[in-house]
């Protein structure tokens, strides 16, 4: 990629990110969540269990930020801590209330949805091309986690 292409892509990506965050903010507000809590709850509702390390790889949030978000979601009975046997590893998962909250996204009226039709071939192609680019730049792990979680919740 040339430097000029990289700069153009950077600005387009930045604008796209701002618009998607605006859409996420509307969805989060509808559910009574912050724009930071929504993706964490989405991941919790999309997987059996997750660790803060899993979450950090996907969201790029700091450990401190994630701890604050998880504490807030636990306080609202949307996620819960899970331990397995004698393991020191701490896992989290969505509670039934948390899963119900996330499921509201697919059943809500269109006026609260993002105006982009994700069934359009061009959007699907952009998603796939973006995933490939991130895999080339960062490695496969984060993209696989996101893709696996996205298959669980639409």
DSSP string, 34-78: -TTHHHHHHHHHHSS-B-HHHHHHHH---HHHHHHHHHHHHHTTS
- What is the reported pLDDT for 151? 59
Q: What is the pTM of this model?
A: 0.75
Q: Is residue 88 part of a domain?
A: yes
Indicate whether 101 belongs to any domain: yes
CA distance 136 to 6: 14
Per the domain annotation, does 52 fall within a domain?
yes
pLDDT of 14 strictly over 70: yes
Domain assignment of residue 107, given as a range: 3-116
The CATH number assigned to the domain holding 96 equals 1.10.10.10
Q: Give the mean pLDDT of the chain.
A: 82
Q: Say how many domains are in the chain.
A: 1
pLDDT > 60? residue 111: no
> Would you say residue 86 has pLDDT above 90?
no
List, for residues 34-51, the tens digit of each pLDDT value.
999 999 999 888 888 888
Residue 60 is assigned to a structural domain of this protein = yes
In a domain, 148, yes or no: no
More confident residue, 69 or 83: 69
Q: Which residue has the higher pLDDT, 74 or 102?
A: 74
Q: Is residue 59 part of a domain?
A: yes
Question: Is 132 domain-assigned?
Answer: no
Query: Cα(27)–Cα(38) distance, rounded to whole angstroms?
Result: 8
Residue 47 inside a domain? The answer is yes
What is the total residue count of the chain?
A: 154
Residue 153: the pLDDT is 46
- The pLDDT of residue 149 is above 60: no
pLDDT in tens, 51-71: 888 888 888 899 899 999 999
Residue 37: predicted pLDDT:
95
């Amino acid at each position: 990629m040339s430097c000029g292409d990289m700069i153009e892509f950077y600005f387009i990506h930045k604008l796209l990110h701002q618009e998607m965050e605006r859409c996420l903010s509307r969805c989060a507000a509808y559910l009574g969540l912050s724009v930071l809590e929504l993706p964490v709850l989405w991941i919790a509702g999309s997987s059996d269990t997750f660790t803060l390390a899993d979450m950090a790889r996907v969201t790029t949030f700091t450990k401190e930020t994630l701890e604050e978000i998880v504490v807030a979601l636990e306080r609202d009975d949307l996620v819960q801590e899970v331990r397995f046997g004698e393991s020191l590893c701490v896992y989290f998962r969505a509670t039934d209330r948390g899963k119900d909250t996330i499921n509201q996204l697919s059943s809500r009226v269109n006026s609260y949805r993002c105006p982009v039709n994700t069934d359009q071939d061009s959007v699907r192609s952009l998603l796939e091309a973006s995933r490939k680019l991130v895999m080339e730049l960062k490695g496969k792990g984060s993209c696989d986690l996101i893709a696996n979680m996205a298959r669980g919740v639409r």
